[in-house]
Amino acid sequence: AQKITQTQPGMFVQEKEAVTLDCTYDTSDQSYGLFWYKQPSSGEMIFLIYQGSYDEQNATEGRYSLNFQKARKSANLVISASQLGDSAMYFCAMREGDNYGQNFVFGPGTRLSVLP
C-alpha cells in the first residue's frame, strides 16, 4: 500500500489566490514527521515546511502552512497569496520513526501552475 497519497496530479491557481495541496499518509508509528518539498523545473528539491506527529499546532512558514489532521492522517499544504514563482512540483514526504533512509518516503507529487 502507498504510504503517501497525493490525489491531485495537477492544480491551477490564479495569482494572489490561496491554494491547498492534498496529502494523506499511512503509518502505524506513533512518532513520525511530515514534510513538504518544492521542486521547480531546475530540479532542486527545496524544503518548505515540517510537521511532527506530536506537534499540537499546525506548522507555518511564511506563506506556507500545513493543515495537520492527525485522526484523518492528512497533512495538506496551504499556500497563501500564490505567486508566479510558486509554479513547480510539490512533494509530500514522511519520515517514519526517527530514522531517514528507507524510512523517508515521498508521495507521487502535485504539479502546481500559477496563472497570471
Partner 1 sequence: DTEVTQTPKHLVMGMTNKKSLKCEQHMGHRAMYWYKQKAKKPPELMFVYSYEKLSINESVPSRFSPECPNSSLLNLHLHALQPEDSALYLCASSHPMGENYGYTFGSGTRLTVV
Minimum distance from residue 26 beta carbon to partner 1 (Å)? 16
CA 23/CA 14 separation, integer angstroms: 21
Instruction: Give dist(CA 5, CA 26) in Å, integer.
Output: 9
Q: How far is the CB of 81 from partner 1 (least distance, A)?
A: 24
Q: Please tell me whether residue 37 binds partner 1 under the rule CB under 8 A.
A: yes
Minimum gap (Å) between residue 69 Cβ and partner 1? 20
Decide: is 98 part of the binding site for partner 1 (CB under 8 A). Answer: yes
**Is there binding between residue 15 and partner 1 (CB under 8 A)?**
no
Q: Beta strand pairing status for 10-14 and 110-115?
A: parallel
The long-range contacts involving 79-82, CB below 8 angstroms and separated by at least 24 positions, are 79/13, 79/18, 79/19, 79/20, 79/21, 79/112, 80/18, 81/16, 81/17, 81/18, 82/13, 82/14, 82/15, 82/16, 82/17, 82/18, 82/19, 82/114
- Nearest to partner 1 of 13, 49 (CB atom): 49
Residue number with CB closer to partner 1 (15 or 44): 44
Q: By CB under 8 A, which span of 11-19, 20-28, 68-76, 85-93 interacts with partner 1?
A: 85-93
Residues near partner 1 (CB under 8 A): 33, 35, 37, 42-47, 50, 52, 89, 91, 93, 95, 98-102, 104, 106-109, 111
